Amino acid sequence: MDDETLKTYGYVISSSYREKSVKSLNNGDKIPTDLAEDIGIRTNHISKVLRELKECGVAECINEEKRKNRVYRLTPKGEDVAKLID
């Protein structure tokens, strides 16, 4: 495991919301509403969490042009981080 992935892992697990989101996305692509439901937080919090995960290269939106029901998934880096969490 490279240093960059380990740093990202440290960043992700420093927030229970980020950690739970990565675990949830590791089970498949999700829209924000489903993700929020899955990890038990309000939907208004999930957009911040997803923005943080995108900024650190862990998650990506596969239909950025849509206003509603954007679909998010883990990047290859995100999959490596998810392996470290489990």
Domain boundaries along the sequence of the chain:
3-85
d(CA 17, CA 64): 22
**What does pLDDT average to over the chain?**
96
pTM of the full structure: 0.94
Flag whether pLDDT at 34 surpasses 90. Answer: yes
d(CA 15, CA 36): 15
Tell me if residue 75 falls in helix, strand or coil: coil
* Closest listed residue to residue 35, CA positions, set 8, 7, 64, 59: 59
Rounded to 5 degrees, φ, ψ at 30 are: -145, 155
Q: Has domain 3-85 been given CATH number 3.40.640.10?
A: no
Flag whether pLDDT at 24 surpasses 90. Answer: yes
- Residue 86: the pLDDT is 82
